[in-house]
Amino acid sequence: MTSQTDTVRMTDAALDYLREHQDQHLAQLDAFLSIPSVSADPERVADVRRTAEWIVDELSRLGIERATLHETSHHPIVTGEWLKAGDGAPTVLVYCHYDVQPADPLEEWIRPPFEPRHENDRVYARGAGDDKGQLFMHLKAVEAWMKTAGRLPVNLRFFFEGDEEVGSEPIEQFISDHAELLQADVCVVSDGDTFDDEGTPAIGHGLRGIAYWEVKVHGPRQDVHSGQYGGGVDNPANVLVRMLASLTDADGRFTVPGFYDDVRELTDDERAAYASLPFDERAWADETGVAQPMQGEAGYTLRERLSARPTFDVNGLWGGYSGEGSKTIIPAWAAAKISTRLVPDQDHRKIERQVVDHLKAIAPPTVRVEVKVIHGGAPALTPLDHPGVAAAARALEAGFGTAPLFQRSGGSVPVVAALDAHLGIKTLMVGFANPTGNFHAPNEWMSLRNIRDGMASLVHLWAELGAMGADELRG
């Protein structure tokens, strides 16, 4: 058993280590960010694998045992473990993803996305915030403990995924096949953001789910002259946009029958919690570059709509002629990528079917409609009264010098619901990216301050959780 004063001393030594090695660590972060691990791009398969191998090597170098690259139906998953914290010590599963979003449009990057740029106390690169930067912070927090104390205050297992940005297809199978590698009292997911860009950290307590489809409307055998055939041949592009437009009503609600059946309404307390968080709508709109926030679903505030309510979006729309000048045709087909964000207790599988059935049902007999499910993931809420939450709050306050606020995120991280459903493992969402850090966009960045304070928070987090018994942490 380690005494409290020993823990304080060891924590301080680990924090000193991070300070002393900061430059070296930032250089190494650049090397990690330079590998283009774009999971969506078939031409990057080898780079994605190289990134997984890089992590395996790092884990091994740190003294993490059984660091392993697992083949999956898609990109590799990396696991590893260090289980020598002693009798009764809790085991924590750490999850991050090492894949990144495609970097286009490339011309909008000030420097190429995989050549990290340091400016204004920020590192700019694809994956800086989402999520390689955060994964890297975990590696360094572990390194700090291992290089100073020679041990960790908790048992840690690692679960690093390479398919998060494309729907996490392999994880359910992996979780059920490898439960023994993931067994833990709690999971820590670092794949979200802090509360603001001024150094207020956050503990996440919700994520939206997602369901994603491709819709294709087919008309004439091939493009036809719109003068010769217009008025007689139904235009697939007209039909598609009519169908898509009919999916939301005047109150900003999605019109597919049954869609809201399982939506858990916000309680008065939850609404009060939303209302109590500082939020400047004008600044939010300016930062985003929109004239004003959209109307959205009637009866809900902007903040509520951004994370506690489902939404519908057209992600892409194409077909027909889009070249220079004009071409007078009725196109043979038109297509769209569409998605919904889901909230508890919506079931993405049920919604996937409902939308397919609905689109087929509303298609006019003049066209043929094809609908493919692309991916889906379940929404999640994590309990705020979980015993690990208070420990995480103390760790974040120690690292950032400011107490965290609690927020629900509008984004999706499918593993959170999957770990709960398959293994009963609850998650603490401790994210370090900057909320305006251009996730999925050109010039993605993370502040060096969040990297530094976040790594310090992780050093504290392992000490805080290590001071709890496994039974206590499980709640």
- 40/448 with CB nearer ligand BES: 40
Tokens matching residue 312: 């519908």
Stretch binding ligand BES (CB under 6 A), from 47-55, 176-184, 188-196, 283-291: 188-196
- 193/297 with CB nearer ligand BES: 193
Show contacts with ligand BES in window 410-429 (CB under 6 A): 411-414
Residue 43 CB, nearest approach to ligand BES (Å): 19
Is residue 297 a contact residue for ligand BES (CB under 6 A)?
Answer: no
Is residue 193 a contact residue for Mn ion (CB under 5 A)?
Answer: no
Instruction: Give just the sign of the alpha carbon dihedral 397, 399, 404, 406.
Output: negative
Residue 375 CB, nearest approach to ligand BES (Å): 6
**Quick one: DSSP state of residue 248?**
B
Residues near 362 by beta carbon (within 8 Å), at least 6 away in sequence: 243, 246
Q: Report the alpha-carbon distance of residue 220 to residue 229 in Å, rounded.
A: 10
Is residue 161 a contact residue for Mn ion (CB under 5 A)?
Answer: no
- 11/409 with CB nearer ligand BES: 409
Residue 443 CB, nearest approach to ligand BES (Å): 17
| Sheet of strand 122-124: strand arrangement | 117-119, 122-124, 445-447
Q: Report the alpha-carbon distance of residue 424 to residue 421 in Å, rounded.
A: 6
Helices 4-20 and 132-148, axial angle in degrees (round to 10): 120
Q: Report the alpha-carbon distance of residue 153 to residue 466 in Å, rounded.
A: 5
- 209/387 with CB nearer ligand BES: 209
**Quick one: DSSP state of residue 365?**
T
- 217/418 with CB nearer Mn ion: 418
- Quick one: 272 exposed, middle or buried, by C-beta within 10 A (0-12, 13-18, 19+)? exposed
Tokens matching residue 457: 């928070």
Cis (ω within 30 of 0) for the bond into 105? yes
Show contacts with Mn ion in window 162-191 (CB under 5 A): 191
Residue 165 CB, nearest approach to Mn ion (Å): 5
Beta strand 224-225 pairing with 117-119: unpaired
- 68/339 with CB nearer ligand BES: 339
Is residue 193 a contact residue for ligand BES (CB under 6 A)?
Answer: yes
Residue of 58, 81, 143, 165 interacting with ligand BES (CB under 6 A): 165
Taking residues 431 to 450 in sequence order and writing x for each that binds ligand BES by CB under 6 A, - otherwise, the string is --------x-----------
Residue 435 CB, nearest approach to ligand BES (Å): 8
Tokens matching residue 197: 């860009």
Is residue 185 a contact residue for ligand BES (CB under 6 A)?
Answer: no
Is residue 99 a contact residue for ligand BES (CB under 6 A)?
Answer: no
Is residue 131 a contact residue for Mn ion (CB under 5 A)?
Answer: yes
Strands (E), 83-180: 91-97, 117-119, 122-124, 155-161
Is residue 352 a contact residue for ligand BES (CB under 6 A)?
Answer: no
Residue of 47, 99, 130, 352 interacting with Mn ion (CB under 5 A): 130
Alpha helices in 149-190 (DSSP H): 171-177, 179-182
Is residue 131 a contact residue for ligand BES (CB under 6 A)?
Answer: yes
Residue of 161, 191, 444, 453 interacting with ligand BES (CB under 6 A): 191
Report yes or no: 35 and 47 within 8 Å, Cβ to Cβ: yes
Residue 331 CB, nearest approach to ligand BES (Å): 29
Report yes or no: 445 and 379 within 8 Å, Cβ to Cβ: no
Q: In Å, how far from its chain's centre is CA 335? A: 26
- Return the bridge partners of 167, or none: none
**Which of ligand BES, Mn ion, none binds 192 (CB below 5-8 Å, type-dependent)?**
ligand BES
Is residue 163 a contact residue for ligand BES (CB under 6 A)?
Answer: no
Stretch binding ligand BES (CB under 6 A), from 50-58, 136-144, 186-194, 328-336: 186-194
Show contacts with ligand BES in window 224-283 (CB under 6 A): none
Q: Smallest Cα–Cα separation from 127: which of 44, 69, 206? A: 44
Residue 416 φ then ψ, to 5°:
-65, -50
Contact residues toward ligand BES (CB under 6 A) are 130-131, 164-165, 167, 191-193, 210, 375, 377, 409, 411-414, 439
Contact residues toward Mn ion (CB under 5 A) are 130-131, 191
